[in-house]
Structure 1
């Protein structure tokens, strides 16, 4: 994978970079938020490892700028702030995963492998279709009624999971586990917030039935048929 490592602590940056390169990854390094944002905006990366506490521009600001600019790279945040509220803030801003310091390199590698697999499919099918909504699994492109819909990486993961289970009731616990990798006991409005954003993109301003529906007391269902 092509990875951008944005970390101001020289020892941590050297340690992580050496470990990633030893496993065959191509790594670019940056020591501050301004340079990291510039590099991430100018080049395509598979994954960005982003420290939260950075000089010049903090990691959260870099994250929001990248997501607002449409960056599709997977983003793994590193931070000494390991509390749940900080993690939720990062995830809701568009991070794909969150790793608290100190950490073992083996855990970092495992998390990188996990987020890089999101979007990889074992099915031979290259498209999924629900009514007039179509997902191109190779290009990670979404269209409805022939009109392209631009999604953030987390929104893509969410829609993909719904589409793979079209017509089924999907609970919040299932989404937390399979899309975010959290245990079902994890409590927040993370799922509801992202589902609301996704629904606004795939249903609002389109003719035809609503595709993503709330099943009261149970969860959600992606379905093209009325009455389901």
Structure 2
């Protein structure tokens, strides 16, 4: 039986009840919260592997909860839920670093399948390889990044994107390829999520983000990592 803990955060009682039932039937240990404050209280006392987080919550919304989570040293995986179907909301969730995004109404079985997929990626054994490029050190096992020996705070997806590029030095990836390989699903339409993450990585890692040394743009194609 699965040991993973999942926190379902949604202000609709029926959604909480149905998702909790399906997840428990699949072997997950589930707790529920009806708003952002309850979610943060639960996170103070329990370590969760994944949150199903509604974007639109009363009082403290899902975005605020997510941003609070990202300040933790080892934040849980997050799948965002929302009744909004606009592409802009999906892009916002992904740009913030969410692992996946599901629009209501949804099939509970689909949600369980997405939970399985995200947790499977998170549980994959990390490489023990440490990568060094000048003053930049990437430790895949510890999921840490150092510049001149000083730690750099990255979101889960910022680290995943950096690690993917750095382990394939010199290889050019299109935005669509990066969405498929880092976010693990095909993306049709606006690929600005990748662009935003690259920009944030440059701001955090490069001495001069406007003239990057490592995270290079290949115009009309995509991005590559130069050692």
TM-score normalized with structure 1 length:
0.85
Residues 71 and 139 of structure 1: CA distance in aligned 2, closer, same or farther (over 3 Å): closer
Aligned partner (choices 50, 53, 58) of residue 55 of structure 1:
58
Q: CA RMSD in A?
A: 2.5
Alignment deviations for residues 17-43 of structure 1 (CA, whole Å, 9 cap, x no partner): 122122221222111121112323554
Aligned partner (choices 16, 32, 37) of residue 19 of structure 2:
16
CA distance in 1, matches of 2:181, 2:55: 25
Residues 172 and 190 of structure 1: CA distance in aligned 2, closer, same or farther (over 3 Å): same
CA distance in 2, matches of 1:122, 1:57: 35
Alignment deviations for residues 149-197 of structure 1 (CA, whole Å, 9 cap, x no partner): 2210110111121122122112212112112234353214211111010
1:126 maps to 128
Q: Which runs of 5+ in 2 are unaligned?
A: none
2:75 maps to 72
CA distance in 1, matches of 2:30, 2:122: 22
SS at match of 1:65: helix
Alignment deviations for residues 36-68 of structure 1 (CA, whole Å, 9 cap, x no partner): 123235543211111122223222222233335
- Write out aligned runs for 1:77-226 (5 A): 77-121=80-124, 125-132=127-134, 133-204=136-207, 210-224=213-227
Q: After TM superposition, what 4+ stretches of structure 1 lie above 4 angstroms from structure 2?
A: 68-71, 119-123
Asked if the contact 2:97–2:158 (Cα under 8 Å) also holds between the matched residues in 1, the reply is no
